[in-house]
Structure 1
Amino acid sequence: MSYLAEVISSAEEIEVDDINKKVPDLKLSIDKLKGELVQYTENVYIKYSGRPKENKKMLTTAQNLENEINTLQKHAENAVKKQLLKANKELTEHVETLHTIDFSLQVLLRMSQVNEKIVEFTTQLDCKEYLRCKQIITGLEKTLADIPEDELVEVIDELKFYVKEKSIGLAHEVENIFKENVITQRKDSTASIKISSNISTLEQALLAMFYNETDTLKYNSKLSEFNRFLWNNFFVPIVDNIVDIKIDQNEKYSLVELVIKEADKKSEYGVVFSNIKTLLSFLEQHFSFPLTTPDNELTTLKYIGLDIRDNLSELLIKHCLQDTIPSTVEGLKNYKVVIEETEKLEKALKHSKLFSEDATPLIEYANNIDILFINKKCSEYCVQSEQIMKKDLHDMIEVGEPYDPDNPLDCGVGQFLQCCISKNVIELLNFCEKILQQSIKGSDVNAGRILVTIQNIFRNYTKLVPEYHNKLLKTIPQQVALFHNNCFYIAHKLIEWNGTYLFRLPSTLNISSTGFELEVCQLRQVGSEIFNNYVKGQMKQINEIMKDSGLEEVALAGELQPVTEKCVRQCIRQQELLKTVWHKVLSYQIYNETLGIVLNSLCTNIITPIVSFEDISTNLGEQLVELIKIILSRGPKLFTDSKEISIYVSSWYKLNELNFVLGASLMDISDRWADGKGPLALQFKPLELKTLIRALFQNTDRRAAVLARIQE
């Protein structure tokens, strides 16, 4: 072995011996330090007797031990590598012991650091350095969370609990600082905000509140409560009420106070804008603090803006700017003043950071004045049209071309037959036609908007009028007839407008193919439906009256009861009342067709039971003839031309033939049947006529012969 190798080997042996001696000593030192640190922690955080100097001494000891362990570990590992072939078991055990000692030391070192930071926290809290306190607490929570599990679990848990208590206490203290320095009050119609001049303490408290908060809008702080107070008691009243706002200041506080003067009235837009600027100025001067460091990107006013900016935009637009939209062309020309003032307000909101730099909701709204103007005018048109629709229906006027019964074909398509309509329909049509004429002269956008508005007005007519006049339309026949005529007259005029105005509207609207077609269909449908429902109601009444007439039970009694004639007369009287009301209201054709349907219902109620009787005595036959004569004599008078009754009453001829059969002989009946070619054959089926003959005449050879001649 060379001299150099001997020297190196000798040095390594000395190094190994040194490790073997020092490892047990280090283990004893660590155990001693652990005991001291546990005792210290228990004294400070369990028994509440503080020893900050002792902790500092222990921290220094722990750091020195850490350095010594690191040196020994390094030497031991080098020695292990060189002695590996010699399998130095003792040295390997020492290395493992050093790793265990180092683990325990790391735990003790972090606990000592925690104790040191707690001492610093107390000092900073006394100095009201709330941001630094929050930073220390945040660091402590992370350090304690990162300490690996050790036999000192109980002591570590005590430290975590202690730090949690300090964190909660800090949160309460900074909230109290905010509450003491920012005082909000509301009493009756007065609201105020008083802000302390001690801005450094307030700023520290706010920074601490928001330190390490990733989602500031969800942070439940006093500032969130302040936002709600500011919104409900300042911004909303400024826009919605007439208010006074004033600012006062002294050495201790700055004050802004709002008093609601008239709760049910609004200030004009200029006053609203001025009051908002006054409030913004106060907030910028006395409540503009950073909430984050070091960039100061988030401030109190930006925080408020994040919370309320969308609602504030909507409030100003819907409750203020919307009221500034003019109703006249002259007002539209002068609207640039409002646009300029709106732009100034939006700049003030951006400067205060309540609005972001790229937000332009107010000026965008104001710059759309042309569209807003026509929208407002169209809304006003709809309101005015509804007021017209709500006028009485019975105030009527005659319109249309007279019906010529001698030349009915001359009353062709395109003509509106003479009838009565409500005067308010003329007013409504004139109103809408004037608007339509204006649209021809306007821009494409305006023309399209006005056309849609007119369409909506007439669609609304079919909904609003039946609803508003609901009770009258169900009970008063004149009102029903007028509404029917109104709908058809409006539809007639809309068809005319399709040919008169639509081709003059801008071609870009692409409406020439449809125009008012949908409205025409809807008007006719609703007008017919309501009128027909009323007519069905009249027929239902006739059916109910005749059901109580006892006519169906007459054959059993052998004679008519007085109630039967009374019921028939009641039905005729009901139709005569309809004639009185409808004769001059409905057009010639509609009037006669409608009365024909109602009278035909009565005729059917007479004919149907009689032709089913199995036995009709001579006396009963005479009574039935007299009963039918009531209808035959009074029925024709219901119509404009009594000679046309058979045109409108489909069972009129059958009623006449029934009347003939009831009073005729077998020979007369046979002659009138005329082998199925006579008048009787046109109205009665063979079975019906045979049933009548069997009921009227006794069973004789002559009756049998007549019955034999009546074949299908």
Structure 2
Amino acid sequence: MESYDIEEVLKNIFDCNETNWKPADKIPLLTKEIELLKIDLKSYLETCEYNVDSVLEESKILFVDSKAVVDELEKCKKEIEEHTMAEVLKSIETHDQITKELQHVNFALNIVYDVGQCGKLVKQFEEGRQAQSYTRAVEAVYDLLQYIELPAEGFKYLDIYANTKHTAQLILDKLLQDLYTEWTRLVSWNTKVSSKKSVVKITLKIEDTPFVIDVIRALDKNKNLKEKVSEFSQFLYKEVLQPIIYNDCIVFPETEELLTVTINYKQNYKPPYDQVIANFRLLFHHLSSKLKFEYDKNCSIMKLIGNEISGPFSELIMKDCFIDTIPNNIIDLQTYGKITSEIEKFQHFLFIVKFFTEDISILKYIEDIDILFSKKSSDHFLKTARDIMLKDLSVCMSIGVENISDEEESSDDYGKAAEALRILEKTIPKSLFYFPRCMISKTAQELLDLIYVIMEQAVQCSDVVCKKLYQTTRLIFELYDAVMPYHHEKYLQTIPQYVALFHNNCMYLAHNMMTFGDKWLTLMEGRDIDYPIGFVDLVQKLRELGYKHLTIHLQQQRKQILDNIRSSDLNCMVVKEVLGSNAEAAIRQCLRQLQLLKNVWIGVFPINVFTRLMATLVNMFIEELIHRVCTVEDISMEMATQLTEIYTLVVQKAPQLFQSSTDIETHVKSWIKLQELIFVLGGSLKDIDNHWKDGTGPLAVHFRTEELRNLIKALFQNTQIRANLLSKIK
């Protein structure tokens, strides 16, 4: 039978687009379709491979059987409701009663079991105590306390619970007290401190015996072993290990059990690394002989001590001991392997005695050897430089060139290069490359020698060290600028020789710094340098430092000279007819002061510098003398005579202040003016007229018109001759 699509049939009968159809028109069509379906069904049943009649017959039989089964089930249901349910309800009531009884039994059983367990643990404690085993006793009491922390329901309300708990705690406290006493007997120490030394005594009675192991295990079981070991470790670290690094110590094992550490307090003393290592070897060998044994698998007191303090100890000994072994010069650095070998052996020793583990190293600082070496070298050179700067400046030496030859060196090369050199020699004076003969402090030469040592060491080192040493060299010159004026301040203010030497030192160092950078670069040829090398920027700074203090001292000398003059009658000639004796005394005092400066400076400064300095002071002195006279409105004949005598003394003595008596004429601007002033003071109007010479004479050259007119008015009375002369001087 083919499949039948009812929707398709309905679409054929009913047209969706048809709106005015009637049921009477469609019913015949539907009836016809139904009849066709009946015919098809009948035809299908006749041709079907199944026997439809027999199927219907079997269905009827099944219906009858099913109905009988349903009736039987209804009957069973009725019997269950009437009889069985009553019995089930009765059984449920019995079950609930039995459950309650079982709960009561379990409650009692749990309490009895807890009592039994407590009794069992108490018995174990008694057995441990009788066997004199701290470990078994502690385990039993410890387990008992842990067990009664989670008691069965109702057990805590019994008197036995409170009594057991209280008793167990008392027993544990007593056991701990006994264990602490035993530990103190096994491990003890004391320290006697005085002003000069401390004596630490460590007593270790620990041995690899069953009793000692039992005590240690009992402490470990009770979680108190680490606390006791930590206490001993911290004492060891603070009272023994640290002092051995910082002080002079003697480690002496007096007996197998007693070790004595004597710490001697010395100022400014730090023991060498080999002494520190030797003391530590004695100490750890003694500790290891007593504490190295294992009380449990892979567990020993020595390991516990190492776990507690090996980290801080390794950092401490590297930072405050082994880093100090790094040398400050390249020669010692090249042989530094001997020291690292000793340290490596010491590290292996600490591993053997179980104080160190494999992951701890006391050679990690070697990874930064360049940085540490550069810092050590820098600190050493800075300290050395500062020590040099603090030395006495008056210890001096002669340096420089006395005379510079102007003769040209003969050369067989007449090429362009030789011609260029000849032009350069003519353009730039040879004196530019030489330092003049003078005296400097030996400390200046020492400082310069130190700088050359730094340079020679730098060029042999790695780039990191070289750069650091270059920076150190610059820092030394900056340190010179800061330290010298401060440390030598008192002498620079009061002692002329100090000022002269300090000035020369600054000039000498600045002179060498001009070419120091080029020398450094020459030695560094072939190396890749990523920073500029030069010292020219510091040259002017050093020169200004020398100029500054020399200028300050010259101002002090000038002030003393002026104060001497202004404190005498030369400062009050207006109100005096005759000068007192203090006027000549003041002049002589000024000349003595200048003579003392000459005696101090003549061999110290370069001759040209000395001449300029002395000329400056003498010129200032003479100008002040001239000013004193030229500003007076009236000068008596007696005073003029006195001034002539006093100023003549200056003319006689002043040339002696120079190396050559002719230097005063060349370098002292007011020298001729002073001589002309003396001439005016002792001369007549006619003599003055002759020296004026209608504005072309020496008076016209050295005196201003107003000065000369005022001087004539002060010296001579108002006469026709004076008026005629004044009329000429315009």
How far did 1:605 drift?
A: 3.8
1:180 corresponds to 2:185: yes
Structure 2 residue ranges without an equivalent (≥5): 1-77, 193-197, 407-425
Q: 1:665 to 1:343 in 2, by over 3 A?
A: same
User: Deviations for 1:450-487, whole angstroms, at most 9, x for unmatched residues?
Assistant: 54555455555556666776665554433432332233
Aligned-pair distance for 1:563? Answer: 0.8
Q: In structure 1, how many angstroms separate the alpha carbons of the residues matched to 2:167 and 2:568?
A: 99
Q: Which residue of 2 aligns with 1:622?
A: 641
Residues of 2 paired with 1:479 and 1:138: CA distance? 87
* Counterpart-to-counterpart distance in 1, 2:542 and 2:492: 16
Rounded to whole Å, the distance in 1 between the matches of 2:168 and 2:726 is 119
Q: Note if 1:347 corresponds to 2:348.
A: yes
Q: 1:203 aligns with which of 216, 232, 236?
A: 216
Secondary structure in 1 aligned to 2:632? Answer: coil
CA RMSD of aligned residues (A): 5.9
- Structure 1 residues 666-705: aligned runs within 5 Å: 668=688, 672=692, 683-684=703-704, 686=706, 692=711, 695-696=714-715
Question: What residue number does 2:534 align with?
Answer: 515
Corresponding residue SS for 2:202: strand
1:554 to 567, 573, 577: 573
In the TM superposition, residue 593 of structure 1 has moved relative to its aligned partner by 1.8
Structure 1 contact 288–300 (Cα < 8 Å) conserved:
yes
Please tell me whether residue 578 in structure 1 is matched to residue 578 in structure 2.
Answer: no
Between the aligned partners of 1:663 and 1:344, the Cα distance in structure 2 is 98
Displacement of 1:575: 0.6
1:224 and 2:225 correspond: no
Contact 1:607/1:658 (8 A) holds in 2? yes
1:463-502 equivalence runs, <5 A: 473-502=492-521
The partner residue of 1:287 within 285, 291, 297 is 291
How far the C-alpha of 1:572 sits from its partner, in A, is 1.0
Q: Secondary structure at the match of 1:196?
A: coil
Does the Cα contact within 8 Å between 1:191 and 1:234 map onto a contact in 2?
A: no
1:577 shift after superposition? 1.7
Asked if the contact 2:138/2:175 (under 8 Å) is kept, the reply is no
1:583, CA displacement in angstroms? 1.7
Q: What amino acid sits opposite 2:188 in the alignment?
A: I
Separation (CA, whole Å) in 1 of partners of 2:619 and 2:163: 102
Q: Distance in 2 between matches of 1:522 and 1:165?
A: 83
Cα distance in 2, alignment partners of residues 548 and 529 from structure 1: 28
- Partners of 1:288 and 1:642 in 2: how far apart? 93
CA distance in 2, matches of 1:311, 1:677: 93
Cα distance in structure 2, aligned partners of 1:288 and 1:10: 76
Distance 2:572 2:493 in 1: 33
- Quote how far apart the aligned CAs of 1:634 are: 2.4
Quickly say closer, same or farther: Cα 1:334–1:408, change in 2 above 3 A.
closer
Matches for 1:602-613 after TM superposition, within 5 Å: 602-613=621-632
Q: Does 1:418 align with 2:437?
A: yes
CA 1:428 to 1:333, structure 2 compared with 1: closer, same or farther past 3 Å? closer
Alignment-derived partner of residue 411 in structure 2:
none
Whose radius of gyration is greater, 1 or 2? 2
Q: Quick check: 2:318–2:365 contact (8 Å CA) kept in 1?
A: no
Partner of 1:93: none
Deviations 1:108-162 (A, max 9, x none): x9xx99x999989998997745975996799699989xx9xxxx9xxx9999999
- Cα gap change, 1:334/1:548 in structure 2, threshold over 3 Å: closer, same or farther? closer
Q: Which residue of 2 aligns with 1:315?
A: 317
Inter-partner Cα distance in structure 1 for 2:140 and 2:248: 45
Partner of 1:399: 400
Maintained 8 Å contact 1:550/1:563 = yes
By how many angstroms is 1:574 displaced? 1.0
The 3 A distance-change label for structure 1 pair 358 and 196 is closer
> Which residue type is aligned with residue 553 of structure 2?
Y
Q: Please, what TM-score do these two structures have when normalized by structure 1?
A: 0.65
Kept after mapping to 1: 8 A contact 2:125/2:141? no
The letter of the residue matching 1:487 is C
Match for 1:283: what amino acid? L
Distance 1:203 1:518, change over 3 A: farther
Whether contact under 8 Å (1:177, 1:205) holds in the other structure is no
Query: Which amino acid in 2 is paired with 1:227?
Result: Q
One-letter amino acid of the counterpart of residue 338, structure 1 = I
User: SS in structure 2 opposite 1:421?
Assistant: strand
For residue 257 of structure 1, give the secondary structure of its aligned residue in structure 2: strand
Question: Counterparts of 2:514 and 2:527 in 1: how far apart (Å)?
Answer: 21
**Percent identity of equivalent pairs:** 24
> Per-residue displacement from partner, 1:286-328 (whole Å, max 9, x unpaired)?
336999x9x9899664455544643454336644674485978
Asked whether the 8 Å contact 2:326–2:376 carries over to 1, the reply is: no
**Is the 1:269–1:321 contact (alpha carbons within 8 Å) kept by the matching residues of 2?**
no
> In 2, Cα distance between the equivalents of 1:479 and 1:237?
47
TM-score in terms of structure 2 length: 0.63
* C-alpha distance 434-285 of structure 1, shift in aligned 2 (>3 A): closer
Contact preservation (8 Å) 1:241, 1:267: yes
User: Structure 1 residues 596, 194: CA separation in 2 closer, same or farther (over 3 Å shift)?
Assistant: same
Aligned equivalents of 2:146, 2:689: Cα separation in 1? 121
Which letter does structure 2 place at the counterpart of 1:200?
I
Shift of the alpha carbon at 1:576?
A: 1.3
Matched with 1:44 is none
Identify if the C-alpha distance between structure 1 residues 185 and 441 changes in structure 2 by more than 3 Å, giving closer, same or farther. closer
Q: In the alignment, what sits opposite 1:544? A: 563
What CA distance in whole angstroms lies between the structure 2 residues aligned with 1:228 and 1:587? 68
Residues 418-437 of structure 1 aligned to structure 2 (within 5 Å): 418-422=437-441, 425-426=444-445, 429-430=448-449, 432-433=451-452, 436-437=455-456
Contact residue 175 and residue 222 of structure 1 kept, 8 A: no
What is the SS of the residue equivalent to 1:349?
A: helix
- Report the counterpart of residue 359 of structure 2 in structure 1: 358
The answer to whether the 8 Å contact 2:451/2:473 transfers is yes
- Flag structure 1 segments of 5+ consecutive residues without an equivalent: 30-56, 66-108, 250-254
Call closer, same or farther: CA 1:591–1:368 in 2, change over 3 Å: same
CA distance in 1 between counterparts of 2:710 and 2:145 reads 109
Given that 1:393 and 1:483 are in contact with CA atoms closer than 8 Å, whether structure 2 keeps it comes out as: no
CA distance in 2, matches of 1:116, 1:496: 98
Amino acid at match of 2:185: E
Which one is further off, 589-598 or 640-649?
640-649
Superposed CA deviations along residues 421-469 of structure 1, whole A, max 9, x for unmatched, are 3456556545654664465455545544554555455555556666776
Question: Corresponding residue for 1:104?
Answer: none
Distance 1:321 1:410, change over 3 A: closer
1:169 and 1:672 mapped to 2: Cα distance? Answer: 125
Q: Aligned partner of 2:364: which letter?
A: E
- Deviation for aligned residue 1:657: 5.7
What is the Cα deviation at residue 591 of structure 1? 0.8
CA contact (8 A) 1:134 1:208 kept: no
Listed one character per residue, the Cα deviations across residues 53-84 of structure 1 (whole Å, up to 9, x for unaligned) are xxxx9x9669679xxxxxxxxxxxxxxxxxxx
Give me the whole-angstrom Cα distance separating, in 1, the residues matched to 2:149 and 2:529.
Answer: 69
Q: 1:434 to 1:124 in 2, by over 3 A?
A: same
Aligned residues: 608
